[in-house]
Structure 1
């Protein structure tokens, strides 16, 4: 071999020698110094068990827990280990027959295989759990009891926005955002439980247990040296006033509609009622699925959150917004009047007004107080036909639409619960398409009185009151004010002030004075509260439906919007009672009671009989009530929530 090849050979030898040295050192470290991996490698002797954390609880504005955690148990089976057990006795305890046992057993194999655990009997009722616990040694190692937390609701209200938790559906497991979840995990599926799932869920822990040669657990492995502790979920602190929520749900009993109350200073939601409602305890525990099916098929649609999902023509409650835009555009002044004689004839067809007396629309304040349809039909036309904007088709309709969009209409406001509706806000393109370009301000004149193609959610109506009472700004309505121990910016968007259209403060002042007159001397005098100044607006919204293929007029919706106190608003509210007639009949009194309760923490004794009368008044049609099972369902006390069995420890 040439002497010139000697250095190359030595280099190659040194490289191989270095690699052997590195590998040997690493193996020595893993096998001798670091014992963790060697110990955990023995899968036949060590069982890895997931420890589920305590889910975060939810508290109201005064720190009262409006939901907490209860502990129930799942019976879990590992099919490969379930041999030589007394299946007949197990079936007797579980109150099932042998056919049902085989069905569940085979389903577990199909779902997770023979060597992985699957839920055999979920959320055992306390009585069954107690009997099973005493005899559990007879069914091991194939079966085991796994603790599972469920929600309990001490106040029995707020079901529509708190939401519920359930086992994660298979379709969600396929999504990238749920990659860290496993079959059998419980997650929030609706409401706040869904929106704040990452904060509420906490962090799962791992526990390693020693198994004997019969696959029975013998205790912690290496005294828990390799275990990781579960970290509890974070608590949510809401703007909600649970007393106000309870009152709202009582007042809406026997009625279809909703109530939304907001603190205009923060955008925090004080109460959100969707009627008829249901006890949220119905959707916890072993009977959740059966109760959900009954609620889903009930004729009154209690699972629909009408506060954010139902949309209505706002009727006359929309007139303050019409006035605000007209004042800002300069087409009217506060002193502008209109000679209404009982109807508006400017569009060759009469638009009826409820007032005939002379001078009831002599200026803006009077027109608002008397809710004159003629006045606001005319004002709407003046606004969209404004020559400075080139008329309704060139720029007037678009400008009006821009205002309304800035008020939060025609799109989702962004409340922190899912499934919010946008409502309907027609624009120039909409009318061009519908009427093939042949339309004018008389075509959509009913927008001026909150009818026609316009629909809003009760949440949007309440937010309008925040804009007016704040004189031009609002915060996105939301429930959660604080998340304990959370330093992220998840709530930052709810702290941002949204200024609308840069409308002058004096313009809002004129509208506010007119709305105060509505309560003190106008259509909502019955809503007055001693010692409290209030601005409000009644609405009687026409209601149509398709019956047997024809557009049929039904009984009007009763609507009322308000804010109080006028000089320093602390609560804004919108109330809708479907098919109940005039706004002053049902919606206004309900709003009045809610405002008084919130501001004074009580309702005057002299008004209590009126409260009781409203609570006991039913506006749902007898035909619908006859088909509904909701009332009887709400009187069922779910065993998981009601039973104080010693075998069912409570965790907070």
Structure 2
């Protein structure tokens, strides 16, 4: 052997010797110094018990717990340990037969192996748990009852906001994103439960117990030396006002649509209603799965959060933004008027205006208060056809789309619950693709009155009212105001003020004055609240559906947006009631009642306000065919609410 190979051989020998030394030292530590694993391995009479932590509580803006924790029990099994138990009696208690018992054991083995503890039957009803607890010694070794915390909702409101928790699925367990979870663990699937899972979940603990000859726990092993304590999840403090939320859900009963209310000063969401709503207590406990299937199949789609997922043409509620663009571009001034005689004819076909009286669009304030279609169709065309952009197909259309994107349209805003949709703001690329380059401002003139291809969500429209009332700034709308004992940066992005570039305070003032006129003397007079100055805008969006293969006109969607008090806004709101006609009929009164409740903490007892409340509560706008097939009301009535 060459002398040159000697050093290499010695290096290899040293590496092997070093590795053997590390192994020997580690074995010595485990077997001699560290007694924990040796003791646990030798203690065949030791029961390892997982201790699940308390999940974080969620409080509203006034410190009221809007969900809390109750306890149910899971029956868990270690299949290989099941020996000589009273199977027949267990089947009687669980109301299953022996074949189903065998199938459940086989499923547990398939799911988690024969030696690992697996949930045999989850969230046992109280009567079943009681019978099992009394006779548990008959089912050991192998079976055990483990406490499981479930959610309860004392106000029975806010289901689409809060979300629900459920057992992790086998598919999710294979995902590296869920590496810290075990079979049988529960986690948030939707809403705030999902978004803030990392802080709500807490940390599991382990407890070792000594068992007697009947496998009954007798006490802690080694005085709890090897136990690890469970760490409770952190609590969330919301901007949500649960009483306002509950009122909104009550007002929307029998209707399809949404209410979104935001505090413009910080972007905190005060209420988010999706109608029809359901009681969140339906999705907790042993009947969660069955109730979920019923809700999923219901004709009114209660699981669909219309506040962030439904996309509507905004109709005339879009006109304040059209005005702001026109003012900022300099194509109109607050004193600019338009000679509307009942329709706009600038594109060779009439665009109907609801007003015919002379002078109803003599300036911007009048045009806003009367919601003149001609005025805003004309303003839109002036903006996109401006010579400084080279016309609509060179730069005008894209510039307009950029404005709308800055107002929060055409993209997700970033609210802290999942499944938000972006809406749609068509731009140059969109129209070039659709019309092969042959289009002009008359092709999409309906954008000026919030129709055509534009679509917005109720959340986006409420946020736009924050921008207007704040005269050009907003915070990303969010629910969670603070997290107890928080050392993360989860909420940092919601505390940053965003400014809509370069639109002047003068422009905002002109639009705000026009919107206050809407309430004082215009189309939104029905929303007036004594002692409160409000800015608002009614809207009526055309609604089409495909019936028998044809695009068919359906009843219009009613919309209303507002902010109050106008001089120092504390609430901005958007209300949409599908298929209910003009925005002033139902959407405006609902918004008015919500604003009054929030600002005055109650609704006035005077006859006028009580008559409005009574009318709204009694009104049903869900189509009869849909209502006849819906089981939602009867399902909600099965919940026994635990009121605070």
TM norm structure 2: 0.95
Match of 2:132 in 1: 132
Report whether the alignment pairs 1:477 with 2:443. Answer: no
Q: 1:377 to 1:165 in 2, by over 3 A?
A: same
Match of 1:117 in 2: 117
* Cα deviation digits, residues 276-296 of structure 1 (max 9, x gap): 000000000111111000000
Alpha-carbon distance in 2 for matches of 1:419, 1:589: 29
Match of 1:245 in 2: 245
Report whether the alignment pairs 1:231 with 2:245. Answer: no
Q: 1:22 to 1:573 in 2, by over 3 A?
A: closer
CA contact (8 A) 2:534 2:562 kept: yes
Report whether the alignment pairs 1:291 with 2:301. Answer: no
* Cα deviation digits, residues 464-519 of structure 1 (max 9, x gap): 00000000010000000000011211100000111012211111000000000000
Report whether the alignment pairs 1:189 with 2:186. Answer: no
Other structure's SS at 1:558 match = strand
Q: How many residues align?
A: 632
Match of 1:619 in 2: 621
Match of 1:371 in 2: 371
Alpha-carbon distance in 1 for matches of 2:418, 2:348: 44
Match of 1:3 in 2: none
**Once structures 1 and 2 are overlaid, which stretch shifts more, 33-42 or 562-571?**
33-42
* Cα deviation digits, residues 338-397 of structure 1 (max 9, x gap): 000000000000000000000000000000000000000000000000011110011111
Match of 1:8 in 2: none
Alpha-carbon distance in 2 for matches of 1:15, 1:423: 63
Match of 1:85 in 2: 85
Match of 1:541 in 2: 541
* Cα deviation digits, residues 545-573 of structure 1 (max 9, x gap): 11111111100000000000011000000
Q: 1:260 to 1:25 in 2, by over 3 A?
A: closer
Report whether the alignment pairs 1:150 with 2:153. Answer: no
Q: 1:465 to 1:21 in 2, by over 3 A?
A: closer
Alpha-carbon distance in 2 for matches of 1:223, 1:502: 69
* Cα deviation digits, residues 188-221 of structure 1 (max 9, x gap): 0000000000000001111122345665544321
CA-atom RMSD, angstroms? 2.2
Unaligned 5+ runs, structure 1: 1-11, 645-651
Alpha-carbon distance in 2 for matches of 1:459, 1:16: 65
Other structure's SS at 1:582 match = coil
Match of 2:219 in 1: 219
Alpha-carbon distance in 1 for matches of 2:520, 2:585: 16
Alpha-carbon distance in 1 for matches of 2:21, 2:542: 87
Structural mapping, 1:352-431, within 5 Å: 352-431=352-431
Other structure's SS at 1:41 match = helix
Residue 32 of structure 1 deviates from its aligned partner by 3.8
* Cα deviation digits, residues 413-446 of structure 1 (max 9, x gap): 0000000000011000100010010000000000
Residue 13 of structure 1 deviates from its aligned partner by 13
Match of 2:179 in 1: 179
Q: 1:610 to 1:18 in 2, by over 3 A?
A: closer
CA contact (8 A) 2:140 2:214 kept: no
Alpha-carbon distance in 2 for matches of 1:98, 1:200: 39
CA contact (8 A) 2:597 2:603 kept: yes
Alpha-carbon distance in 1 for matches of 2:553, 2:18: 91
Report whether the alignment pairs 1:634 with 2:603. Answer: no
Other structure's SS at 2:437 match = coil
Structural mapping, 1:53-92, within 5 Å: 53-92=53-92
CA contact (8 A) 2:137 2:216 kept: no
Alpha-carbon distance in 2 for matches of 1:13, 1:467: 73
Alpha-carbon distance in 2 for matches of 1:432, 1:32: 78
Residue 31 of structure 1 deviates from its aligned partner by 3.8
Report whether the alignment pairs 1:94 with 2:119. Answer: no
Match of 2:254 in 1: 254
**Once structures 1 and 2 are overlaid, which stretch shifts more, 19-28 or 153-162?**
19-28
* Cα deviation digits, residues 216-269 of structure 1 (max 9, x gap): 544321111111100000000000001100110000000000000000000000
Match of 1:52 in 2: 52
Match of 1:516 in 2: 516
Other structure's SS at 1:267 match = coil
Match of 2:8 in 1: none
Alpha-carbon distance in 2 for matches of 1:17, 1:270: 68
Alpha-carbon distance in 1 for matches of 2:122, 2:624: 39
Other structure's SS at 2:538 match = strand
Match of 1:649 in 2: none
Residue 112 of structure 1 deviates from its aligned partner by 1.6
Alpha-carbon distance in 1 for matches of 2:436, 2:93: 71
Other structure's SS at 1:160 match = helix
Alpha-carbon distance in 2 for matches of 1:402, 1:349: 28
Report whether the alignment pairs 1:313 with 2:290. Answer: no
Report whether the alignment pairs 1:609 with 2:611. Answer: yes
Alpha-carbon distance in 2 for matches of 1:502, 1:280: 44
Residue 85 of structure 1 deviates from its aligned partner by 1.7
Alpha-carbon distance in 2 for matches of 1:198, 1:119: 23
Match of 1:648 in 2: none
Q: 1:88 to 1:346 in 2, by over 3 A?
A: same
Alpha-carbon distance in 1 for matches of 2:20, 2:542: 87
Match of 2:301 in 1: 301
CA contact (8 A) 2:158 2:273 kept: yes
**Once structures 1 and 2 are overlaid, which stretch shifts more, 367-376 or 131-140?**
131-140
Residue 78 of structure 1 deviates from its aligned partner by 1.5
Other structure's SS at 1:591 match = helix
Residue 97 of structure 1 deviates from its aligned partner by 2.2
Q: 1:277 to 1:25 in 2, by over 3 A?
A: closer
Structural mapping, 1:581-600, within 5 Å: 581-600=581-600
Match of 1:444 in 2: 444
Alpha-carbon distance in 2 for matches of 1:105, 1:74: 15
Other structure's SS at 1:605 match = coil
Match of 2:9 in 1: none
